Amino acid sequence: MMDWERFYRRADYDRCAYIGGERMADLAGRLFDRVGTPDDFASVGCGPAVVPFRLAERYPDTEFFGFDLSETVVRDNNEKATVEGVENLQFAVGSLPDLDTDRQFDVVYCVATLYFVEEPRRAIESLYARVRDGGHLVLNYPNEASREQFDEEFEGRKRESFELVLSGANLISEDVVREVTGAETRNYWELVGAEDEEFADSATPCVVAEK
């Protein structure tokens, strides 16, 4: 299994957005155009938090939060926010499937993370519980198409990192998201006009559930 803490302890990790790159911040901005700019936004499994850093600059009246299981990336992100004087962005350790915060947010955003989580249903429950009424969960998850694609494309260490997906242990479908949240879901890529992007294929499903 992927050891993220060890990965981030190597001081030279890339500050990248793992799916969709830096464009993901523009796409989140399009979501805000459609559903309203949130008062607060939480990225869960935020990693180096490319999207929250970009958004915090663009939306100074929104409070941004990032949660990740890695203490190292949380500390690095908090230091970066302090050095850059970003006042509306903070990070804390938080680990799915349970998320140790009582706070709710207008948008909870979980992208490129469920691939590494053993109990996706419990994780979705916990993410959705953190969405304020009227707010939105943006959720990217592994499905059968992800497993097939990864099986064809990934080799060596990468196969170990994606062991849960490759073994089929944590695959879900849009129906599971509907069932667990009790909400209708919409395709996020379509909602933000990114359905033709290479990264937005059937192996990288991403949905929005309103609360």
Using CB under 6 A, list all residues that contact ligand SAM: 4, 17-19, 45-47, 68-70, 73, 95-96, 111-113, 116-117
Which of 46/207 has CB closer to ligand SAM?
A: 46
Closest CA to 40 of 85, 86, 104: 104
C-alpha–C-alpha distance, residues 170 and 154, integer Å: 17
With beta carbons less than 8 A apart as the criterion, state whether 123 and 197 touch. no
Which of 79/184 has CB closer to ligand SAM?
A: 79
Residue given tokens 């943006």 in the structure block? 138
Residue 11's Cβ-count burial label (10 Å; 0-12, 13-18, 19+) is exposed
Question: What minimum distance in Å lies between the beta carbon of 141 and ligand SAM?
Answer: 13
